[in-house]
Structure 1
Amino acid sequence: MSRSSVPSHSSVPSRRAGHRPRARALTVLSLCLGALAPAVASADAGTASGGGAGHPGDRALERRIAEFVRSPGGPPGIIAVLREGRESRVVRAGVADVATGRPPTPDDHMRIASTAKAFSGAVALTLVDHGALRLDDTLRKILPRLPSAWDKVTLRQLLNHTSGLPDYTESQEFLDILTADPRHRFDSRRLLDYVADEPLRFRPGSRYQYSNSDNIAVALMAEAVTGTPYEQLLRELVYRPLKLRNTTLPQGYRMPEPYLHGYDVDPADPAAPPEDISEVLSASGVWASGGIVSTPADMTRFVRGYAGGALYGANVVREQRRWVEGASEPAGPGRNTAGLGIFRYATRCGVVLGHTGNFPGYTQLIAATPDGSRSLTFSVTTQINKTLAPERLARLRAIQEDFVCALLK
């Protein structure tokens, strides 16, 4: 495959001293892409609804997220969509855009971060259902150009993060390029080149380790067996059957309007305004591992179909739900275990299946009951994870569990 051209972009401007936003965003990427406010303009916690206004318990949920938004280091905005059957309830706090004070809505675009890994799982498992791929297909068989040291890694191991592939987002060369130009346009299909000289981290299948490289390899396998670009496979195998209207996999850094602005917040300096970092980084550097842009409404449709097994037959669903020890990044509510492109979240109120994600400016959770009848999409407009904010992550997971309980009860 030939490398794409690399256009030059100007560096990202900073309002604060030095280059704090760019530096922090790059630190976030290097530490937490695995996955890849103070002084809020308004703390609106009103409920919008598609038929669920005044639903019992929603006021308590509103209070929980409004308190979180107002807390030091809290996000400028949160929106949650709970759906049961045909009834949708939207619970929100804060703002989609600090500059305007506009509240978040289900049709706002957002970076879905590592929940994009569920989309690569959907593509791969649909191809398994069609017979184009097998779960025991190896990299040697499908992608012989990759390093021979990786030959025995199977599609199953890529999908449940037991492959041992080194994570390209930890490559110093990759990070140096981002530091020099955060909006650099990578050749997404050559991202694994940054770790091509590295051995496997462990024997494939012997343990769990979340790696962004896994889902890049999954997408490349899907392209190799179909001769079709991954973006087109997404449209044909996922967007169209699940009726996703506002979901794309871009290459650049621009966000489509309207969108949930993603922010960097500084809990150590409550007087500092949130820094808008929505368009700091190019999506090309995360591609199938975290580059998709979608909306809460579309993600609700997606997780209901995906977790509910609507895209493939019962035999594939059964294989997808063979759980191993392992948590999503960041960890979701309750006890986490890993399947094929999906996680099981066992909460105090019951089990939901889904995925989480974090990216500079965004933290995501999508989850649904195993039959897809009830779902939760929970979107936060700052990055929260165990590396940057362990205490806030613990609090966020507790809030998310409350929402799961409200959904299941």
Structure 2
Amino acid sequence: MSRRPYGHFGRSRPSLRLAAATAVCGALLAVSVQPAQAGAGRNPPPGADLHQELRELVERPDGPPGVIAVLRDGDRTQTYRAGVADVENGRPPRATDHMRIASVAKAFTGAVALGLVDRGRLHLDDTVGEVLPGQPAAWHRVTLRQLLNHTSGLPDYSASPGFLEIVSADPRHRFDSRRLLDFVADEGLAFRPGSRYQYSNSDNIAVALMAEAATGRRYETLLRELVYEPLGMGATSLPQGYRLPTPFLHGYQIDPQEGPVDVSEAVGASGAWAAGGIVSTPKDLTAFIRGYAGGALISERTRRQQFTFIPGALSQPPGPGRTEAGLAIYRYTTRCGAVYGHTGNTAGYTQLAAATADGRRSLTFSITTQTSLTNNPDLLAQVRDVQEDFVCALLHK
């Protein structure tokens, strides 16, 4: 198959309304079907084959213009990439490029909340009613634990007609992030708390609000103090607007006939906030997932609670292998072993960050288009196969 001739495409203006349909709302769509385990019967490929697998992704007519994967084993880092970070100038993706990490941001919410649990500022059995008494009475019995493992039953604000109407009319609309739950404040719970798993972006908004209420500090400040600074992350932020820091990994919406449309800055971050608004780099994300999955930010006692898993509970999109949900972390059991982390997708980006339980070995895997079980599932299936091969390379199996 020949490489797509990116140099032949003229610059495309971002289609804001087009991107809005798949940005916050598309990234947050919950799907309850567990797909078959990816990669069954495959053998772990050598490094040259991993490069080829990435090239095959970008050569698909509907594939991403760029992909970058960073493997870290102790002090040894290997960076694999294919395609381009920007179709305008053709430069390759770099580990220091900024990018939207989408729902991987939910793991950051977990890091803040569990850090506060360790410090006695919050408890996993604290309820919404105790910490956020101004929230609807129907939600008051939901606990922090249930918010973190998506068993709360909170209705998803990002699927509400009112939210969708605003973001469709103006994808760069500046929301009051701390009032996002108002879009579903008149709704009851979808089910009895703790009785089932259902991925909801409202959960992470509520967690961030609980963290603020318990400390009297802004969530952005808590991220810096409890996550960025301890892990040496200098290029990660939670913006409110639509601009990305430079340099950045451009994200695209793909039309196989017309070519890629740049949607990197098509949608504002305020409507995702603690559920998916963080901007980071592959280098910083590597530092985060090593520390987070490896337990560097919390005590072993709290970590035992975090690593209590719900079988068959999907992250969005599904990651490699078989998925189980813990407290703001997922276990991905592949044919070569298990890694722990989170996935995400939003307009222009699909993400995976995962590491071994000791934090020594890690993988970040970023492609520059959106895919999910409902948005180009064929591409997602290939991405998951490739991710599993990278996990096998990471685990040396």
Query: What TM-score, normalized by structure 2, do the two folds share?
Result: 0.92
Q: Superposed, which structure 2 residues align to 1:196-345 within 5 Å?
A: 196-267=185-256, 269=257, 272-325=258-311, 326-345=313-332
Corresponding residue of 2:163: 174
Q: Which runs of 5+ in 1 are unaligned?
A: 1-13, 37-55
Matches of 2:357 and 2:28, distance apart in 1: 25
Q: SS where residue 60 of structure 1 aligns?
A: helix
In the alignment, does 2:365 pair up with 1:404? no
Q: SS where residue 81 of structure 2 aligns?
A: strand
Corresponding residue of 2:33: none
Q: Which runs of 5+ in 2 are unaligned?
A: 1-10, 31-44
Contact 1:35 1:358 in 2 (8 A): no
Query: What TM-score, normalized by structure 1, do the two folds share?
Result: 0.89
Q: Deviations over 1:276-318 (max 9, x none)?
A: 0000111000000000000000000000000000001101010
Corresponding residue of 1:57: 46
Q: Deviations over 1:322-367 (max 9, x none)?
A: 0013010000000000000000000000000000000100000000
Q: Deviations over 1:227-250 (max 9, x none)?
A: 000000000000010110100000
Q: Deviations over 1:192-244 (max 9, x none)?
A: 00000011111100000000000000000000000000000000000010110
Q: SS where residue 126 of structure 1 aligns?
A: helix
In the alignment, does 2:181 pair up with 1:192? yes
CA shift for structure 1 position 31: 4.8
Corresponding residue of 2:132: 143
Q: SS where residue 388 of structure 1 aligns?
A: coil
Matches of 1:250 and 1:203, distance apart in 2: 34
Q: Deviations over 1:381-404 (max 9, x none)?
A: 000111111111111101100000
Corresponding residue of 1:379: 366
Contact 2:16 2:267 in 1 (8 A): no
Contact 1:69 1:77 in 2 (8 A): yes
Corresponding residue of 2:38: none
Corresponding residue of 1:68: 57
CA shift for structure 1 position 15: 5.0
Q: Which amino acid aligns with 1:245?
A: G
Contact 2:64 2:368 in 1 (8 A): yes
Q: Superposed, which structure 2 residues align to 1:87-166 within 5 Å?
A: 87-166=76-155
Matches of 1:404 and 1:255, distance apart in 2: 29
Matched pairs, number: 371
Q: SS where residue 130 of structure 2 aligns?
A: helix
Contact 1:262 1:382 in 2 (8 A): yes
Matches of 2:201 and 2:325, distance apart in 1: 15
CA shift for structure 1 position 30: 6.3
Q: Which amino acid aligns with 1:199?
A: G
Corresponding residue of 1:41: none
Q: Deviations over 1:38-71 (max 9, x none)?
A: xxxxxxxxxxxxxxxxxx9221100001011001
Corresponding residue of 2:42: none
Q: Deviations over 1:134-171 (max 9, x none)?
A: 00000000000000000110000000000000000001
- Larger RCO (alpha carbons 8 Å, 6+ apart): 2
Contact 1:112 1:357 in 2 (8 A): yes
Q: SS where residue 265 of structure 1 aligns?
A: strand
Matches of 2:25 and 2:290, distance apart in 1: 31
Contact 2:24 2:346 in 1 (8 A): no
Contact 1:35 1:357 in 2 (8 A): no
Q: SS where residue 249 of structure 2 aligns?
A: coil
Q: SS where residue 318 of structure 1 aligns?
A: helix
Q: 1:35 to 1:118 in 2, by over 3 A?
A: farther
Q: SS where residue 394 of structure 2 aligns?
A: helix
Matches of 1:33 and 1:153, distance apart in 2: 24
Q: SS where residue 365 of structure 1 aligns?
A: strand
Contact 1:264 1:382 in 2 (8 A): yes
In the alignment, does 2:340 pair up with 1:353? yes
Matches of 2:295 and 2:276, distance apart in 1: 22
Instruction: State the 4+ residue runs in structure 1 displaced beyond 6 angstroms.
Output: none
What percent identity do the matched residue pairs reach? Answer: 63
Q: Which amino acid aligns with 1:320?
A: Q
Q: Which amino acid aligns with 1:312?
A: I
Matches of 2:84 and 2:328, distance apart in 1: 31
CA shift for structure 1 position 23: 3.1
Matches of 2:223 and 2:243, distance apart in 1: 20
Corresponding residue of 2:354: 367
